[in-house]
Chains A and B, each alone.
Chain A
Amino acid sequence: MKDARSGGDKKVLLMGNPNVGKSVIFSRLTGARVAISNYPGTTVGFSHGEMKFGAGEIAMLMDVPGVYSLHSLSRAEEVAMEMLEKGNVVINVVDATNLERNLFLTLELKERGVPVVVALNMWDETRHKGIEIDVARLEKELGIPVVATCGLTGVGIKRLVERLTEAEVKKFPKLDRDHKWEEIGKMLDVSQKLRHHHHTLLERLEDISTRPVTGLPIAALVVYFSFRAIVFIAEGLINYVMDPLFEKIWWPLMTSLSSYLGENGIVHDLLIGKLVAGEVDFGQSFGLLTAGLYVPLAAVLPYIISFYLILGILEDLGYLPRLATQVDNLMHQLGLHGYAILPFILGLGCNVPGAMALRLMESRREKFIAGTLMAIAVPCMAQIAMIVGLVGSRGGEYVALIFGVLFTVFVVKGFILNRVMKGRSPEILWEIPPYRMPKPAAIIKKLWMRVSEFLGEAVPYVLLGILFVNILYISGIFNWLSNIFAPVLNGLWSLPKETISAMIIGFLRKDVAVGMLRPLGLTTKQLVIACTVLAIYFPCLATFIVMLRELGIRDMIKSAGLMLLTAAVVGGLLNLIL
């Protein structure tokens, strides 16, 4: 994380209702010089970067979580109010297609006596929605600069920067809430005209996917086809790009290196790993240059790319809040509300952002349930990719069995926690955004950000994991541990004692851990049990740290206890049944 004070003395805050395009404007204003230190949480957190301010001056721009008012009604509002204390100028981003509600926050900001400039965003959408706004008139009524902008195309952004210097401290009379609405009504009467407009295809789709009768089947189809698409793209990338690259180019190189190093010895084993039938095998040779590169780049990366591509499209289309609405009543049975699917969906990509999204949950109870369920029953894409690759060769039904078991655990566990824990699940209250056609450039940009984040974080961890594996093998620690844990592994789950090595590496990286099962020669039953237990028993280190921060130490200990217990019980049951 960069120092929050870098980038000049002036602090410009970007504030507005949720989902009005603040972040798009943020990236427009900061341009290439973005120093995004994404503070955790999708809405409850902020990013900052540098922007031009007036003639040659540099100011720090802070992206504040979206709020509807300044009253500490939610955690996001508390954060926003704390930040408001530190800001010099506020850019109030306003959704031009929804002026009345958005202006409420504008009036509240004005009253605070902080210089405000209004960015009338989504300007491009007003025309086809039959909304006509007289910007000059609105500016006169508000008494502060107003600039029409479109974050996506960049229209108006330059003008916005120019007019920032015009913002000044002004005294406005304080109005109570009723009078604010009255004031807004008067302003809009003279500056906005609404015409009736014909419904577009996207708008018709909005209603269809909101009503439960049609919305639920649509949700099922969307989820189903998303997964089909993810697997299709990922397997395509693996079979036609990554595997050929590794086999045709990297394999001969590694083979030469292996014979150069004499085919064994400590250096050879560290870099290449053990040979299988005298040959380098990327799945079973656990060297830094073999499995260390093959696992993150060839086995996992394709799934990361395809998952985040599909997720990005669904996010930008605006489907996720609708999915959350559809599942709200079901989630209540698990002690959560609809929005809790967000940490779960993000967790499918990587449990770390999933754990960060726990901040969206307002109550401690809900955080605990959502965090525990995610850590136990939501495997990350890296782990899923490895399970599909390893268990898939024994038959698709076994892959389905593992995920079926995890899903059952998810439902049963949530149901029990909801009954056992005191309190009840909170009510939802959120805005459902209109559908917007995803813009390919924006999708690709977001995909690139997420993929490079994966590469930057996963590859070093995988290499570290492989290094650990080798050190633990060479020093004999694995051997020692496997004898200690043999009764548990064997008695409870019918697993050979060598699986302890995978269990230990699983604390670091789940994908490497699943990969380590390959050379052990397990039966299909053992594979299913080992993969399921690996998914349930504990989150990886990175997830653990974020969860600890979100849940606090007491809840984290309880949660971890539940994970171990569930792993023991579920693994034991599978051992009895299969």
Chain B
Amino acid sequence: MRLTELDTDRTVVVKEVEGTTNMKMRLESMGIRPGVKVTKISSHFWKGPVTLKVGRAKMAIGHGMAKGIIVEE
């Protein structure tokens, strides 16, 4: 399932990150990488950003990028 399709308040594990190497590395250095648990806080209408909790930190991720994050319950 893609992060954009996930319901809010659900905690899932990141399975795969799709996208350019640059983007993968940026996400990874911010702590979003395969095997990590994330909790979705919200998604915004009109292809707005997805916010999520990674560890103790909260992130806002653009819709396109969030679509590339494949998660598993």
Contacts and interface: CB of A to CB of B under 8 A. Distances in A.
Contacts of A100: 31, 55
Interface of B is mostly: mixed
A518 interface: no
A91 to B, nearest CB: 20
B56 A210 contact: no
Contacts of A212: 42, 44-45, 48
A121 interface: no
Given A73-B26, A210-B41, A432 B33 contact: no
A427 B59 contact: no
Interface string B19-63: 000100111111101000000011011111101001111111111
A207 to B, nearest CB: 6
Interface stretch (A321-329, A460-468, A519-527): A321-329
A110 interface: no
Contact of A328 (B27, B41, B48): B48
Contact of B27 (A98, A131, A429): A429
B13 interface: no
Nearest to A178: B33
B11 interface: no
B65 interface: yes
B51 A210 contact: yes
A97 B56 contact: yes
A428 B60 contact: yes
Interface residues of A, number: 40
Contacts of A69: 25, 29
Contact of A73 (B22, B31, B61, B65): B22
B56 A129 contact: yes
Contacts of A321: 60
A507 interface: no
Given A68-B30, A212-B48, A329-B49, A98 B25 contact: no
A549 interface: no
B47 A210 contact: no
Contacts of B55: 98, 100-101
A432 B59 CA distance: 5
Given A98-B55, A427-B63, A431-B30, A325 B25 contact: no
Contacts of B47: 329, 332
B36 to A, nearest CB: 9
A447 to B, nearest CB: 28
Best-surrounded residue of B28, B44, B61 (most CB of chain A within 10 A): B44
A325 B52 CA distance: 12
Given A101-B55, A211-B41, A328-B48, A432 B60 contact: yes
A505 B70 CA distance: 57
Contact of B29 (A68, A215, A330, A427): A68
Contacts of B49: 325, 328-329, 338, 428
Interface string A317-360: 00001001110111010000110000000000000000000000
A240 interface: no
A384 to B, nearest CB: 30
A329 B30 contact: no
A429 B62 contact: yes
B48 A210 contact: no
A71 B25 contact: yes
A69 B27 CA distance: 11
A427 B60 contact: no
Interface string A219-233: 000000000000000
Nearest to B57: A98
A181 B48 contact: no
A280 B62 CA distance: 58
Contacts of B59: 429-432
Contacts of A73: 22, 25-26, 29
A390 B47 CA distance: 42
A181 B33 contact: yes
A329 B25 contact: no
Interface string A94-130: 0001101100110000000000000000000000010
A163 to B, nearest CB: 26
Contacts of B56: 97-98, 129, 131
Interface string A415-435: 000000000001111111110
Given A71-B29, A100-B55, A181-B33, A428 B62 contact: yes
B51 A427 contact: no
A206 interface: yes
A212 B46 CA distance: 11
B60 A177 contact: no
Contacts of A328: 44, 48-49, 60, 62
A347 to B, nearest CB: 22
Contacts of B27: 429
Contacts of B54: 101
Contact of A329 (B22, B28, B48, B65): B48
Contacts of A71: 25, 29
Nearest to A433: B58
A210 B42 contact: yes
Contacts of A426: 62
Nearest to B66: A427
Best-surrounded residue of A71, A426, A427, A432 (most CB of chain B within 10 A): A427
5 contacts: A101-B57, A210-B42, A324-B60, A328-B44, A328-B48
Interface of B: 8, 22, 25-31, 33, 41-42, 44-49, 51, 54-65
Closest 8 CB pairs of A and B: A427-B62, A329-B48, A69-B29, A101-B31, A68-B29, A329-B46, A432-B58, A211-B42
Given A104-B29, A212-B45, 19 more contacts: A68-B29, A68-B30, A71-B29, A73-B26, A98-B55, A98-B56, A100-B55, A181-B33, A215-B42, A328-B44, A329-B47, A330-B46, A332-B47, A338-B49, A426-B62, A428-B61, A430-B59, A430-B60, A432-B51
